Amino acid sequence: MSVGLSLAAAASSVPVSAAQASVGTQFYVRHPDVAAVEQIAHLRQRDPGDADALRWMLNMPQAIWLTGGSPQQVRGQVRQVVREAADRGTVPVLVAYNIPFRDCSQYSGGGATSMAAYRAWIDAFAAGIGRGRAIVILEPDGLGIIPWYRPIGAAHDEWCQPAAADPATAASDRFAMLNHAVDVLRAHPGVSVYLDGTHSAWLGVGDIADRLVRAGVEHANGFFLNVSNFQYTANLVQYGTWISDCIAYAAGVERGDFAGCPDQSWNGGPEGTKIAQLLGARTGVTLSNDGEWSDASDTPGLNTSGINARYAAMLGTVKAATHFVIDTSRNGAGPWTAPPRHPAGDPQDWCNPPDRGLGLRPTVDTGVPLLDAYLWIKTPGESDGQCYRWTSGPLDPVRNMGDPAAGHWFAEMALELVHNANPPLSGASATPPR
């Protein structure tokens, strides 16, 4: 799939990299999962249409995840991908996912065992790229889940409190490691690097903006949204724009006032309505994640005009400059809502939700100045984990089956993604891109 690659820098002080400047470049197509190839082979005789659909999905550009190994191993793995991509005239999207206390020891737990080990690993990762070109997605969940972290304005630390981490230094260590990673990666002129911006149904705008600045986003190319999640693209575009607005406000208007940034918890009411004006615009509600947000929506919980108007007034002549990318690999059908009468407990709406679909194809043609690209970062068809939801297992009570372990191929979910793709696969070329 050919796309023009012109990724913009996070701020004017950040030089445009070789990866950004090369117009007409293709994103790298990764080698498919062996289990996915086997599924296609099994489907060829029984359902050739599904086989073709899965083959089409596998031949879309997708990210390569690097999740561990020794420094020597990761350097070799990265070098091999970057060289192969260069031989094809493509640019790879690489995910660095090895920070200590990764995912707070949940389904995707793991990571390096110390700061020193992580620095050595990320240094080797960057060395593997060398003079090559790559887009680096730096540590999904790395800012959404921070061990022993107290957000701005909070009275208590967040839930992630691993016993093996030092409560006095764990959070500052996380920021130090991410700053180091940004610096060492950006020292390579062909690298574009993005930090974790969570997603529109997770952290408030001011909270994540503050974390991004602490992690060094001003030296990166920007931040990423929705990795391994399912939120609507329209909502993510709004959310990403507000994060960039908040960073600009806290840097150029009221220095450090991230807590003063409007967010999705209260939209203030539709801008310009008489009732909003009469009541000082205090007619708003929390934005809902169950539909697509817009300034023109007639549904109060989906209307964003009040938030956008407040940012415009707050910023004045100050311009937002921090860019972002969005993972659209599995958000074509939007987020999943658990059954209304499910038993008490966490429905884990992020974990292998049923009946989801592929989203927008990877492209830099977004039509949004701050939005550099839609990317397929999470590998569609790979499991999020063994989802027990409100039970103790061993089955996923929604699917009534045992889900594969995180990162393993999930044949049933792969078919759901192609069947529910939005835009639908019927509107795509009948011939896979490769």
pLDDT, tens digit (0-9, with 9 covering 90-100), for 392-424: 999 999 999 999 999 999 999 999 999 999 999
CA 51 to chain centre: 28
pLDDT exceeds cutoff 50 at 2? no
pLDDT exceeds cutoff 80 at 105? no
**What pLDDT does residue 426 have?**
72
In Å, how far are 107, 239, 262 from 245, measured between CA atoms?
A: 33, 10, 10
The C-alpha angle 15, 126, 109, rounded to 5 degrees, equals 115
Question: Hey, what are 422's tokens?
Answer: 């939005």
Q: How many CB atoms lie within 10 A of CB 272?
A: 11
- Report which DSSP code applies to 425: G
- Verify cis geometry, omega within 30 degrees of 0, for the bond prior to 394: yes
Question: Hey, what are 144's tokens?
Answer: 């959404």
Least confident of 14-28, 38-52, 163-177: 14-28
- Verify cis geometry, omega within 30 degrees of 0, for the bond prior to 423: yes
The C-alpha angle 317, 321, 324, rounded to 5 degrees, equals 145
Confidence of residue 268 (pLDDT cuts 50, 70, 90): confident
In percent, the amount of the chain with pLDDT more than 90 equals: 85
Q: For residues 152, 158, 160 and 166, what is the CA-based torsion angle, rounded to 10 degrees? A: 70
Q: Taking residues 114-137, what's their average pLDDT?
A: 98
Task: Please state whether 400 falls in left (phi above 0), alpha (psi between -120 and 50) or beta.
Answer: left
**What pLDDT does residue 363 have?**
93
Of 266, 146, 247, 236, give the one whose Cα is nearest residue 206: 247
Confidence of residue 107 (pLDDT cuts 50, 70, 90): low
Looking at the DSSP bridge assignments, the partners of residue 138 are: 96, 195
**What pLDDT does residue 433 have?**
42
Q: How many CB atoms lie within 10 A of CB 62?
A: 25
Least confident of 180-184, 248-252, 381-385, 426-430: 426-430
Confidence of residue 19 (pLDDT cuts 50, 70, 90): very low
**What pLDDT does residue 26 have?**
85
pLDDT exceeds cutoff 80 at 278? no
Q: pTM value?
A: 0.92
In percent, the amount of the chain with pLDDT more than 70 equals: 89
3-class DSSP assignment, residue 26: strand
**DSSP H/E element including 59:** none
CA 26 to chain centre: 21
Question: Hey, what are 412's tokens?
Answer: 């049933």
| Cβ atoms 241, 208 nearer than 8 A | no
3-class DSSP assignment, residue 2: strand
Amino acid at 334: G
pLDDT exceeds cutoff 60 at 281? no
Amino acid at 265: S
| Cβ atoms 7, 372 nearer than 8 A | yes
pLDDT exceeds cutoff 80 at 345? yes
**DSSP H/E element including 41:** helix 34-46
Least confident of 26-30, 259-263, 272-276: 272-276
User: 14 or 340, which is more confident?
Assistant: 340
**What pLDDT does residue 24 have?**
53
Rounded Cα gap, residues 275 and 284, in angstroms = 11
**What pLDDT does residue 271 have?**
65
Rounded Cα gap, residues 122 and 108, in angstroms = 19
Q: How many CB atoms lie within 10 A of CB 164?
A: 10
Least confident of 14-18, 87-91, 248-252, 261-265: 14-18
pLDDT exceeds cutoff 80 at 321? yes
**What pLDDT does residue 14 have?**
32
- Secondary structure in 3-state letters for 176-228: HHHHHHHHHHHCCCCEEEEEECCCCCCCCHHHHHHHHHHCCHHHCCEEEECCC
Least confident of 61-65, 340-344, 367-371, 424-428: 424-428
User: 137 or 25, which is more confident?
Assistant: 137
**What pLDDT does residue 108 have?**
73
For the domain 18-252+322-427, what is the CATH code?
3.20.20.40
pLDDT exceeds cutoff 90 at 224? yes
Question: Hey, what are 330's tokens?
Answer: 């599995």
Rounded Cα gap, residues 67 and 88, in angstroms = 24
pLDDT exceeds cutoff 70 at 372? yes
User: DSSP assignment of 75-118, as one string?
Assistant: HHHHHHHHHHHHHTTEE-EEEE---TTBGGGSTT-B--SSHHHH
Rounded Cα gap, residues 431 and 425, in angstroms = 11
**What pLDDT does residue 110 have?**
85
3-class DSSP assignment, residue 391: coil
pLDDT exceeds cutoff 50 at 162? yes
pLDDT exceeds cutoff 80 at 96? yes
Average pLDDT, the chain: 90
3-class DSSP assignment, residue 337: coil
pLDDT exceeds cutoff 90 at 9? no
User: DSSP assignment of 274-322, as one string?
Assistant: HHHHHTTTTT--PPPSSS--BTT-SSGGGB-HHHHHHHHHHHTT-----
Of 83, 58, 64, 66, give the one whose Cα is nearest residue 1: 58
